[in-house]
Amino acid sequence: MRAALPILTALLCLSHGILAADAVDMADKTLVGWLEHVVVSEAGLILEAKLDTGADTSSLHAENIHRFRRDGKRMVRFDVLDTETGKMVQLERPLARIARIREHRGDHQSRPVVTMWVCVGTMKKRIEVNLVDRSAFNYPFLLGRSAMEGHVIIDPSRSFTTMARCDLQDMDQ
């Protein structure tokens, strides 16, 4: 029994150290609900977003998506509805790439991808966003796991828990 005491003590110390390390990691993250208001781009668009750890990429409802070239650069022009003002806002971004997205039915769809600033709570990050018609969905923006990883903790029992608190001045194209 005496030989087991040092082993038990070591295990308790080790587990306490692991829990303390997890607590430190969690302190650097923003606690959010599964639905949140997000600010998108330097235009300060406020959108309702579903935070979805089951989706790797982020998707934005966009209308009138038009690819074109300007000075030899591939560009995308698209319209987004600002859910706070109810007004359509036209944005232009360089085309980052074309993504091949597998849909739930198993079909594949090609979507233009642009980079945009996104702000959720205190998290501000430049992310890749694919543009698609999301009119059949309840929320115009889906924030995927790759955008949130290491920055937020999602409480699925909560929604609209935080306001985006980011300086739009730093959000350039």
The 10s digit of each residue's pLDDT in 37-50 is 999 887 788 899 99
pLDDT average, residue stretch 44-66: 93
Smallest CA-to-CA distance from 57 within 108, 106, 113 is with 113
- Looking at residue 30, its pLDDT comes to 85
Smallest CA-to-CA distance from 101 within 78, 68, 125, 134 is with 134
pLDDT average, residue stretch 2-12: 55
Beta bridge pairs of residue 109: 101
Q: Is 71 left (phi over 0), alpha (psi -120 to 50) or beta?
A: left
Average pLDDT of the chain? 84
- Looking at residue 62, its pLDDT comes to 96
Domains of the chain: 29-170 (2.40.70.10)
- Looking at residue 169, its pLDDT comes to 66
Contacts of 31 (CB under 8 A, 6+ apart): 121, 152, 153, 155, 161, 162
Q: Is 7 left (phi over 0), alpha (psi -120 to 50) or beta?
A: alpha
Answer yes or no: is pLDDT of 158 > 50: yes
3 state SS of 169:
helix
pLDDT band at residue 146 using 50, 70 and 90 as cut-offs? very high
- In percent, how much of the chain has pLDDT > 70? 81
Answer yes or no: is pLDDT of 95 > 50: yes
Q: Which helix (H) or strand (E) holds 108?
A: strand 108-120
- Looking at residue 84, its pLDDT comes to 80
Gap between the Cα atoms of 17 and 55, Å rounded: 32
Tell me which of 83 and 23 has the higher pLDDT: 83
In this prediction the pTM is 0.79
Contacts of 122 (CB under 8 A, 6+ apart): 30, 165, 166
Tell me which of 90 and 163 has the higher pLDDT: 90
Answer yes or no: is pLDDT of 81 > 50: yes
pLDDT band at residue 101 using 50, 70 and 90 as cut-offs? confident
